[in-house]
């Protein structure tokens, strides 16, 4: 081997894994075990003191899950990663070391509907607050930050409309305020965008989506850049001060660039218990091996389908940042030059009723509350994933009543278009 950095296609297959030391197995084994035998009492003490890296209990660490964590960290260019049970769990885990009662985050108003609900409703039970702001307006983001703000949060390509975020500009705002930028990179994946290279501190994923890519398991991940100085101010005492939940250890002092990662394992997984199971990690590792190949097909199909829909007189509008007509085209080209993803929304003439008929008449598309599958998927967000939002919030999120969300799969593009054509005929007759 040389010191030359490996390419993405190589990393997605090899990063974080070696042949199994016990058997020589080339594929990562599924370590279906609860606990691990310590060599002796001193070995156990070293593990619990974080003086040695190893395995204690599968709520905290598991070799199959560790392999996935290492691979995702390598693909994102991070110092470390922690996997957990779902994308929603990843969001809680990412913010858990940063937050406390009376504190807030400033988040984009263009987010997945379930995230908006988690942030605006469930967070209140922790004493946390989320301020939803138009992240297209940097001045509004800066104005929303106050002395109690502990993070900025956005999605790289926002669900449902695939709207890109200017990550570098947002990171600069966070740096000025001494707070991290947390970016959900689910819709883009590190194949399209590596937010850490653009200045993000933490990256979260629903590994359920494109990373796994086959609709089999749920999972989440948090990737730490290792670049944020948690000791620069007193805003993050769990990382910069002696942590009473871990016998007074100062994670920032003791672990430097790995402070956040180890805190999330030693305290986050220990106490919140949002653990990824090894079966899920195995399926996700298999999915990631073909990530770049799938994403290329997703992108090519999405572009063809979006252009076809934009030219159809039964369609009111297509919101896809890959179209020349999109106000986000220049930003998408800058942050995601390979393509604008495969998730976008379509406004159908005939409004709510036409959207419902469209969904009910599709054959190739699956009507599911998911995205990033190899299959083409559709959902009417206003009546499902974004139903709990106010009409104003639905419009801001790109999920108005006359809009459907498409997640374009890797089938033959002509077949995808033919299915949409016949269903639109039925919906707008």
Q: pLDDT for 14-73, tens place per residue?
A: 998 888 888 899 999 999 999 999 999 999 999 999 999 999 999 999 999 999 999 999
DSSP 256-275: GGGHHHHHIIIIIIHHH--B
Residues 232 and 346 reside in one and the same domain? no
Contacts of 228-233 with C-beta under 8 Å, sequence gap 24+, read 228/180, 228/201, 228/260, 230/259, 230/260, 232/178, 233/178
Residues 271 and 377 reside in one and the same domain? no
Residue 388 belongs to what domain range?
Answer: 292-427
Which CATH number is 251's domain given? 3.40.640.10
Q: Is residue 126 part of a domain?
A: no
Tens-digit pLDDT profile for residues 221-270: 999 999 999 999 999 999 999 999 998 999 999 999 999 999 999 999 99
Helix axes 63-76, 278-288, angle to 10 degrees: 40
Q: Is residue 129 part of a domain?
A: no
DSSP 143-184: HH--TTEEEEEEESEETTTTEE--HHHHHHHHHHHT--EEEE
The answer, yes or no, to whether residue 386 has pLDDT greater than 90, is no
Under 8 Å between Cβ of 398 and 372: no
Q: How far is CA 60 from CA 24, 91, 180, 201, 273, in A?
A: 25, 18, 25, 23, 8
Query: Residue holding tokens 């406004």?
Result: 347
Among 200, 233, 232, 237, smallest CA distance to 100 is for: 237
Ranges of H-type helices in 15-109: 41-48, 63-76, 87-95
Outline where DSSP puts E strands in 325-420: 343-348, 366-367, 377-379, 403-407
Residues 270 and 353 reside in one and the same domain? no
Q: Is residue 78 part of a domain?
A: yes
Residues 77 and 186 reside in one and the same domain? yes
Residues 335 and 241 reside in one and the same domain? no
Q: Which residue has the higher pLDDT, 411 or 1?
A: 411
Residues 415 and 318 reside in one and the same domain? yes
Under 8 Å between Cβ of 262 and 230: no
Q: Look at residues 287, 312, 328 and tell me which one is the last residue of a structural domain.
A: 287
The DSSP element (H or E) to which 202 belongs, if any, is strand 202-206
Residues 361 and 264 reside in one and the same domain? no
Residues 281 and 300 reside in one and the same domain? no
Least confident of 155-169, 274-288, 321-335, 396-410: 396-410
Residues 211 and 298 reside in one and the same domain? no
Residue 77 is predicted with a pLDDT of 97
Q: Is residue 395 part of a domain?
A: yes
The answer, yes or no, to whether residue 210 has pLDDT greater than 50, is yes
Under 8 Å between Cβ of 139 and 169: no
Which CATH number is 352's domain given? 3.90.1150.10
Q: Is residue 346 part of a domain?
A: yes
Residues 145 and 51 reside in one and the same domain? yes
Q: For 373-393, what is the mean pLDDT?
A: 83
**Peptide bond preceding 160 in cis form (omega within 30 of 0):** yes
Residue 401 is predicted with a pLDDT of 86
Mean pLDDT for the chain overall: 95
Q: Look at residues 287, 311, 346 and tell me which one is the last residue of a structural domain.
A: 287
Residues 302 and 231 reside in one and the same domain? no
Under 8 Å between Cβ of 239 and 94: no
Q: Is residue 61 part of a domain?
A: yes
Q: Is residue 106 part of a domain?
A: no
Q: For 176-201, what is the mean pLDDT?
A: 98
The answer, yes or no, to whether residue 6 has pLDDT greater than 80, is yes
Cβ neighbours around 1 below 10 Å, total: 4
Q: Is residue 121 part of a domain?
A: no
The answer, yes or no, to whether residue 1 has pLDDT greater than 50, is no
Under 8 Å between Cβ of 346 and 365: no
Residue 79 is predicted with a pLDDT of 98
Among 186, 89, 121, 105, smallest CA distance to 388 is for: 121
The answer, yes or no, to whether residue 395 has pLDDT greater than 80, is no
Q: For 391-401, what is the mean pLDDT?
A: 77
Residues 335 and 202 reside in one and the same domain? no
The answer, yes or no, to whether residue 150 has pLDDT greater than 60, is yes
The count of domains in the chain is: 2
Tens-digit pLDDT profile for residues 271-313: 999 999 999 999 999 999 999 999 999 999 999 999 999 999 9
Confidence label for 203 from pLDDT (cuts 50, 70 and 90): very high
Q: Look at residues 266, 287, 308 and tell me which one is the last residue of a structural domain.
A: 287
The DSSP element (H or E) to which 295 belongs, if any, is helix 291-310
What is the rounded CA–CA span in Å between residue 268 and residue 385? Answer: 28
Confidence label for 2 from pLDDT (cuts 50, 70 and 90): low
Residue 391 is predicted with a pLDDT of 78
């Amino acid at each position: 081997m040389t010191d030359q950095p490996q390419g993405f296609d190589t990393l997605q297959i090899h990063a974080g894994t070696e042949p199994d030391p016990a058997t020589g197995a080339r594929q990562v084994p599924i370590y279906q075990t609860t606990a691990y035998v310590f060599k002796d009492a001193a070995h156990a003490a070293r593990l619990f003191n974080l003086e040695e890296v190893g395995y204690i209990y599968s709520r905290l660490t598991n070799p199959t899950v560790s392999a996935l964590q290492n691979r995702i960290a390598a693909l994102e260019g991070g110092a470390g990663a922690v996997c957990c049970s779902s994308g929603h769990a990843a969001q809680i885990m990412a913010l858990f070391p940063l937050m406390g009662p009376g504190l807030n985050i400033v988040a984009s108003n263009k987010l997945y509907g379930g995230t908006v609900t988690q942030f605006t409703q469930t967070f209140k039970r922790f004493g946390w607050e989320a301020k939803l702001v138009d992240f297209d307006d940097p001045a509004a983001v800066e104005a929303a930050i106050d002395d109690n703000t502990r993070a900025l949060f956005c999605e790289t390509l926002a669900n449902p409309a695939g709207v890109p975020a200017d990550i570098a500009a947002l990171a600069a705002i966070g740096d000025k305020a001494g707070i991290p930028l947390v970016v959900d990179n689910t819709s883009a994946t590190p194949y399209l965008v590596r937010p850490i290279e653009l200045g993000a501190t933490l990256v979260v994923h629903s590994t359920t989506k494109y990373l796994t890519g086959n609709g089999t398991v749920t999972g989440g991940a948090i990737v730490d850049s290792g670049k944020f100085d948690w000791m620069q101010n007193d805003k993050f005492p769990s990382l910069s001060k002696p942590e009473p939940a871990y016998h007074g250890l100062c994670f920032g002092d003791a672990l430097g660039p790995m402070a956040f990662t180890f805190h999330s394992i030693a305290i986050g997984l220990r106490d919140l218990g949002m653990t990824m199971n090894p079966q899920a990690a195995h399926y996700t590792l298999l999915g990631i091996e073909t990530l770049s190949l799938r994403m290329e097909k997703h992108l090519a199909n999405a572009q063809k389908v979006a252009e076809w829909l934009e030219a159809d007189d039964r369609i009111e509008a297509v919101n896809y940042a890959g179209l020349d007509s999109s106000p986000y085209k220049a930003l998408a080209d800058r942050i995601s030059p390979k393509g604008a993803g495969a998730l976008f929304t379509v406004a159908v003439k005939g409004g709510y009723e036409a959207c419902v008929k469209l969904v009910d008449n599709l054959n190739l598309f699956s009507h599911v509350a998911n995205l990033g599958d190899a299959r083409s998927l559709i959902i009417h967000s206003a009546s499902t994933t974004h139903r709990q939002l106010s009409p104003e919030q639905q419009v801001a999120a790109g999920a108005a009543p006359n809009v459907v969300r498409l997640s374009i799969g890797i089938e033959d593009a002509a077949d995808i278009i033919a299915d949409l054509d016949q269903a639109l005929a039925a919906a707008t007759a």
